Amino acid sequence: MNLFIHIFQNKLMVEDSQVTEGRFLLSYDVEKSSPFPSPEELRKRVREFYARNRWRENPFAFDILPEAIVGYEEQRSQLLAAVERREKIILILGPTGSGKTTMLKWLENELRNERGLIVFFMSKAPRDERELIEQLNHHLFNLRFLRWIPLFKSYIRNTSEIVPKLRQKFGEKRLIMLVDEAHEAGLEALRWMRVIGDHANITIVFSALPVFEEQLQTSLETLRKRVSTRIILRRLERESEVKELIEKRIRLASDGEGKNPFTENAIRKIFEISGGFPREVLRLCNRAVSLAAMEGKEIIDESLISEEGVARAIEAKEMEFDLASLPKRKREVIEAMLSGATTPAEILEKISLKGYKSREHALRSINNILKRMLDEGLVVREPQGKTFVYSLSPRLKTLLTKA
């Protein structure tokens, strides 16, 4: 535990080195607090709070802990089944903080001891061919700084050697590539990952923001068509899942002996304010723990759960998930629906056909866009006779009004 405490504009700011993104853990109004403890005393109180609850370390640091994954049972089953079916390209989509990296690390742990499988986790998506080659050499050939090691003949020197070298090294073993933050990958690197994915014994699992699928549709349709399973992560849906997440994190931070100081009402408020986003749950818990320690409280009740900054973060996630970098064709569909279109055929009459090979191709594209928007909660669908009618979801209407 490394706490950093300083005073800024009459507020005492507490930061924890384990909390990422440079955000403060909490702020405390100096002028309203009398007498106010010194920084040394505050550190002491936090350590004492940890000790009273038998915590070895901060349970709510933003560390990726696959052992603490909760919820998403259906998505996890889908993911394992897709890997077992030897599908070539699998896509995990979700907004920031929804648990995509944790899901990938969980999958890595599940497959790590399977015989005949080689699993490696690519935490940084390659931006170009050179970075792709470097990461493959580092993870699969255990080589680094290759420009200074010209004597090794087994490693990959250029893109044309990728598939032959993989076959040479692994033979009939299966290779599972887990690529995190895939929306940051460069187009050249993605093209070569498509080539790698065509190899008989390779499965690639991409984790990305939802905009990644639209990027593929625009710039690399051949890779998008190879996606056989799409898994959508949104948020934890039940209060009991938030409670389970808190309890699992505490067990992992205390060798199973730690106490849970959060009341049921506090957990309920955390669920309501966080919107079920795991990262926002951790942020709220971090702040509540530090505030309880500073005020000398043994129990964390709902009065210590503050939504300061969290509501804005959740709103930003919604905007990021639905509106940021909105692709042209999706925007056209939304605009058509705003003007009254409710079926794919009606939408077709209101959009430009420029860029489509035919009306049939345009109609097929509209149906695919509507299906993705339905998965993302952007539209709702109701049967009408032998067809379906679509309308914008209340959530999207709210976002469009704010925008």
**C-beta of residue 56 within 8 angstroms of C-beta of residue 256:** no
Number of other CB atoms surrounding residue 27 within 10 Å: 19
User: DSSP E strands: which ranges in 246-386?
Assistant: 379-384
Yes or no: say if 207 and 229 are a contact pair by the CB < 8 Å rule: no
Are 173 and 116 in contact by the 8 Å Cβ rule? The answer is: yes
State residue 34's pLDDT score: 44
Helix (H) or strand (E) holding 112: none
Q: Where are the domains of the chain?
A: 3-65+238-317, 72-232, 326-402
Beta-bridged to residue 224, according to DSSP, are none
Measure the N-to-C terminal CA separation of the chain; round to a whole number of Å. Answer: 41
Specify the length of the chain in residues: 403
Rounded Cα gap, residues 370 and 334, in angstroms: 10
User: Quick check: do 72-232 and 326-402 share a fold?
Assistant: no
Q: Which tokens is 237 given? A: 């849906």
Give pLDDT, residue 399: 61
Torsion of CA 390, 93, 283, 248, to 10 degrees: 110
Token pair 């079926």 is found at 343
pTM > 0.95: yes or no: no
Q: Please give the C-alpha separations between residue 245 and each of 26, 51, 217, 293, in angstroms, as whole numbers.
A: 21, 21, 35, 21
Report the CATH fold assignment for 72-232.
Answer: Rossmann fold (3.40.50)
Taking Cα atoms as reference points, which of 398, 349, 344, 352 lies closest to residue 371? 344
Residue 26: enclosing H or E segment and its boundaries? Answer: strand 26-29
Cβ partners under 8 Å of residue 378, min gap 6: 322, 392, 393, 395, 396
pLDDT, residue 158, reads 82
* pLDDT by 10-residue block (mean), the chain, 403 residues: 42 45 42 57 86 92 90 93 94 90 95 88 90 85 52 69 84 90 91 86 92 85 90 90 96 90 95 89 91 89 76 47 63 87 90 86 89 79 83 72 50
- Supply the DSSP symbol for 392: E
Contact (Cβ atoms closer than 8 angstroms) between residue 127 and residue 189: yes
Q: What is the CATH number of domain 326-402?
A: 1.10.10.10
Q: What pLDDT does 384 receive?
A: 80
pLDDT of residue 36: 58
Q: Look up tokens 């379906």; give the residue.
A: 388
Cβ–Cβ contacts within 10 Å for residue 191, how many? 16
